[in-house]
Amino acid sequence: MLTLKGRDFLKFTDLSPAAVLELLHLAQQLKTGQIRPQCNQVLGLLFRKASTRTRVSFTVAMHRLGGQVIDLNPSATQVARGEPIEDTARVLDRYLDVLAIRTFDQGEVETFAHYAKIPVINALTDLEHPCQILADLLTVQETFGTLSSLSMTYLGDGNNVANSLLLGCASVGMDIAVACPQAYRPDPQIVAQAEAIAAGRSRVTVTDDPQAAVQGAHILYTDVWASMGQESQAESRLPIFAPYQINPSLLRQAHDQAIVLHCLPAHREEEITAEVIEGPQSRVWDQAENRLHAQQALLAAVLGLVP
């Protein structure tokens, strides 16, 4: 049974491989209405970056659990005026039952979690996006009925989504290949961690060769080429990342049952063509929906609402 009550989710490795599978099972039960845990607790959302999916799916998930949500827009709080995170964390800890943070520096969520006793959830940092990967794995499991024995290929920028995906795939025994330009490789420590978690059960590959990486893959995955905070590099990145675009020609080299994922928001004709994202192999809308179910499961688990 899940033993996540009171726990933080700051990096994907905060979940054991067994806990990942249990959370996915719980998410499926919530999605199908088999269980309806209820609470009267309060979730705070402290987001320093824009968000549609994460903000709304966390809000709806908490409402479905019977709880309430406070949107702590940093510019409307003392956070934007420089109140130390250590102080904010200790104060919010006295009001809230759980807090989700979206920010730039992974160190900020770690500091928050250190000073707050309530569960703290990483809702995206420059290093990781662990909640996204729970929804991605749920989508893959729904499609293929399994997670191990599959191969995932991520194409594009080796940043937050790629980092968490490496850890998530390794955790469930799925082969993961990340194809990206040399200068945009995933965090080397995270690659090493993924290799250690995979421990020879599954493969972890980082390459700059998109053609080689997609051969026979069951899932092709991409993300924006210039993430939030990197907008000034958007133009200069286009030619560097062009070979990594998911287009019909690249998709034909994957497994003939392959699906395509994108965490969204998408930039058509950049990292993915309109034909592919709107095509029959795209699962991006199911994937976006699954943010809701996966995060409802996570909230239920860290709040101790499930046995």
Q: Can you say which residues are annotated as belonging to the binding site for L-ornithine?
A: 160, 223, 227-228
The radius of gyration computed from the CA coordinates of the chain, to the nearest angstrom, equals: 19
**Shortest spacing between CB 203 and ligand CP, in angstroms:** 26
Q: Are 104 and 126 in contact (CB under 8 A)?
A: yes
d(CA 60, CA 66): 10
Question: Which residues from 259-288 bind ligand NVA, rule CB under 6 A?
Answer: 263
Among 91, 228, 234, 238, binds ligand NVA (CB under 6 A): 228
Instruction: Tell me: does residue 51 bind ligand CP (CB under 6 A).
Output: yes
70-95 burial: b if 16+ Cβ within 10 Å, else e: eebebeeeebeeeeebeebbeebbee
Choosing among ligand CP, ligand NVA, none, which partner's interface includes residue 224 (Cβ < 5 to 8 Å by kind)? ligand NVA
The residue among 178, 175, 174 whose CA lies nearest residue 146 is: 174
**Shortest spacing between CB 307 and ligand CP, in angstroms:** 30
DSSP 8-state code for residue 231: G
Pick between residue 55 and residue 203 the one whose CB is nearest to ligand NVA: 55
Q: Are 164 and 133 in contact (CB under 8 A)?
A: yes
- Taking CB positions, which residue lies at the least distance from ligand NVA? 227
Q: Are 193 and 171 in contact (CB under 8 A)?
A: no
The residue among 223, 283, 14, 36 whose CA lies nearest residue 131 is: 14
Question: How far is it between the farthest Cα atoms of the chain?
Answer: 54
Which of these is catalytic: 281, 291, 293, 295?
A: 291
Among 2, 134, 161, 213, binds ligand NVA (CB under 6 A): 161
Pick between residue 151 and residue 159 the one whose CB is nearest to ligand NVA: 159
Active site residue 129: yes
d(CA 227, CA 127): 11
Which of these is catalytic: 7, 102, 218, 237?
A: 102
**Shortest spacing between CB 54 and ligand CP, in angstroms:** 3
Feature table: binding site for carbamoyl phosphate: 51-54, 78, 102, 129-132, 263-264, 291
Q: Where are the alpha helices (DSSP H) in 215-283?
A: 234-241, 248-251, 274-277
Choosing among ligand NVA, ligand CP, none, which partner's interface includes residue 52 (Cβ < 5 to 8 Å by kind)? ligand CP
Question: Which residues from 116-155 bind ligand NVA, rule CB under 6 A?
Answer: 124
Kindly list the residues in this chain that would bind ligand NVA in the complex (CB under 6 A).
124, 159-161, 223-224, 227-228, 263
Binding site for ligand CP (CB under 6 A): 51-54, 124, 132, 263-264
